[in-house]
Amino acid sequence: MRRLNTLVLSSGLSVLAACGAAPDSQDYSQDYSQDYSQDYSQDYSREFDANVAGLQAKVLCSETFVAGRDPADVQAAELSSPNLHPAVERVTAEILEETGVKGAQASAGGTTRFAVFRGQYGCSIVPEAYDLSALVRGDLHDPALYRQKDAWGAPENTANARHAALQGLAEATLENPNALASGRTRALLIMRNGALLAEAYAPGFGPERPMASYSMGKALTNALVGILVQKEMIDLKAPVPVDAWQGAHDPRREITVEHLLHMSAGLDTEYAGRSDMGSPAMSALFGSLDPEHYALSSRLRQPPGTLSWYSNANTFALMHIVRTRVGGGMADLQRFIMEELFKPLGMQHSMIEFNAYGTPMTTSFNYVSARDWARFGQLYLNDGVVNNRRILPAGWARYTRTPLASSKDRTFGAHWHVNAGRSAGHADPEHQGKNDRPPIKSVPEDALFALGDSGQSLMVVPSMNLIVVRLGQLRPPGEGWNYTAFLDDLMDSLLSQEAGG
């Protein structure tokens, strides 16, 4: 085993330079279907292998050291079948055994990537041209610091409010304990009017275990921006304060924070969820590309505000703004997240992981327990107030669930998915006909959804004072979670309950 404390991987700086210079004219003609591999000076197949290996190392590291699971269980459930990516069958992953270093490594196609546990910052994939010894390390935040009155009451005190039919529905969704690798629901929670009506967990999971939430973290980004708006530290309508976009002939100078929040900045980046594993979008998550550089160096495809386009680059740019507003350093941002969001809400089993460049990866790398997601959802039902303290601006939940008038599909609000396009028949064209995305006809139009890969979801319905959390897996294909069918059954049960059934 090589010594990781002094390891320096080969240079990847040429990749950073290949993302494109600042545009000098208002040219929106570039097609979204461009071959992003053309931007690489490195071999594309190697980048593909490196990203797949980075993904595997990251999952093994985070599930072991952040979620506290047994590495053998992680290997069996996540890494021994194509639950994450079809290429996993040719990947080998293992826990690091180096003294003083906690983490994991994975290899694919002769390329090895490492993920290192950094305490309160979670697990970070080590990019190329990076010395592991330079990584900042720290201790996990002490949960005792965040033990205070819950935002919505102690769940263990609401057992008498359990609803038998809903509890049965929740338990019926759980994955088969005899076929863990098949991928099913691991946590299901239903809360209404502040009472926990149903809660169920698969074997090995429970109320205090943080779980991978993936793009659900985009909703956390919404809250962090909202907190700064409340503090009058961000102006939604003002041009984004990014120096690289301020050239006299740079069309990006017209991008506002609101455009980024609504995924309508016009940045010419890949649609999240369909990106090829060898693309810059995937390298920004799992490889050698600095996510902030990826976002801030992106050209425009169309004028800001004219089309919603679901891309991680919008989130990276927002978190760049948040970071600079609260001090600029990792410790500054970590302190802001804890003191202004997690601590007031009592979210003591939650973590936003940072990458090796110091970027908080709210796009994808979030570990949050089901109860903490419910606490977070309650903040939006309470119009941004918790324990008589205003966290978010008045009316922020209504603002969040309102798509921009320019949005063609009207299923995306301010970094949350919404049901606003239900009656008009609008649907995200990338997910038309899928069973895991809005619009969902059985659910009221004011519903908000924080959604993540593999069926992770938080639904908040203000008109029903309802919160539903689901965490787990979807894969292998055809054996997973049907969100629409579950919500249809849930709505039937709730209506029956109201009718006295």
Between strands 466-472 and 385-386, the pairing is unpaired
pLDDT tens, N- to C-terminus, the chain (501 residues) = 333 332 222 222 222 222 233 333 344 333 323 333 334 444 677 788 888 889 999 999 999 999 999 998 888 888 875 555 555 555 777 888 665 678 898 888 878 888 988 888 999 998 655 565 555 444 334 434 333 333 344 444 444 466 888 998 888 888 654 444 444 789 999 999 999 999 999 988 999 999 999 999 999 999 999 999 999 999 999 999 888 898 888 999 999 999 999 999 989 887 655 567 878 888 889 887 889 988 999 999 889 988 888 899 999 999 999 999 999 888 899 999 999 999 999 999 999 999 888 899 999 999 999 999 999 999 999 999 999 999 999 999 999 999 887 766 678 899 999 998 665 555 555 555 456 678 898 999 999 999 998 889 999 999 999 999 999 986 555 556 688 888 999 999 998 877 665
Distance, in Å, from the CA atom of 306 to the CA atom of 347, rounded to the nearest integer, reads 36
Question: What count of residues does the chain have?
Answer: 501
Closest CA to 81 of 95, 91, 71, 66: 91
Residue 331: exposure state from Cβ atoms within 10 A (0-12, 13-18, ≥19) = middle
CB 358 within 8 A of CB 330: yes
pLDDT of residue 370: 97
CA atoms within 13 A on the CB side of 477: 3
Amino acid at residue number 421: G
Answer whether 419's CB lies under 8 Å from 491's CB.
Answer: no
Whether the CB-CB separation of 470 and 212 falls below 8 Å is answered with no
What is the pTM assigned to this prediction?
0.85
Tokens of 450: 């924080």
Name the amino acid, one letter, at 303.
P
Measured CA to CA, the distance from residue 418 to residue 401 in angstroms comes to: 6
Would the CA dihedral through 286, 288, 293, 297 be positive or negative? negative
- Phi-psi label, residue 410: left if phi above 0, alpha if psi -120 to 50, beta otherwise: left
Residue 428 and residue 439: Cα distance in Å, rounded? 8
Q: Six-digit token pair at 275?
A: 């990106």
Strand partners, 390: 385
Q: How far apart are CA 295 and CA 312, in angstroms?
A: 8
Predicted local distance difference test score (pLDDT) of residue 18: 26
The single residue listed with the structure tokens 């979008």 is 281
Q: What is the enclosing helix (H) or strand (E) of 51?
A: helix 44-65
Q: What is the pLDDT of residue 34?
A: 33
H or E, element range at 91 = strand 91-95
pLDDT at 151: 39
The token pair at 32 is 């979204």
Q: 343, 269, 345: which is closest to 312 by C-alpha? A: 269
What 3-state DSSP class applies to 110?
coil
Sign, Cα dihedral of 218, 224, 230, 234: negative
40 alpha-carbon distance from chain centroid: 26
Quote the CA–CA distance of 365 and 326 in Å, as a whole number. Answer: 21
Fold of 155-498: Beta-lactamase (3.40.710)
Other Cβ atoms less than 10 A from the Cβ of 376: the count is 26
Residue 91 CA to residue 82 CA, distance in Å, equals 10
Distances in whole angstroms, Cα of residue 149 to Cα of each of 144, 177, 196, 346, 348: 12, 34, 16, 7, 12
Where exactly does CATH 3.40.710.10 map onto the chain? 155-498
Spatial strand order in the sheet of 123-125: 91-95, 103-108, 111-117, 123-125
pLDDT score at 28: 36
Among residues 407, 404, 415, 414, which one has the least CA distance to residue 363? 415
3-state secondary structure string across 432-461: CCCCCCCCCCCCCCCCEEEEEHHHEEEEEE
What's the Cα-to-Cα distance from 271 to each of 47, 274, 276, 284, rounded to whole Å?
Answer: 19, 6, 10, 14
- Integer angstrom CA distances of residue 323 from 97, 241, 318: 34, 12, 9
**What integer pLDDT is reported at residue 309 of this predicted model?**
83
Spatial contact of 313 and 271, defined as CB atoms under 8 Å apart: no
The pLDDT, as a whole number, for residue 349 is 95
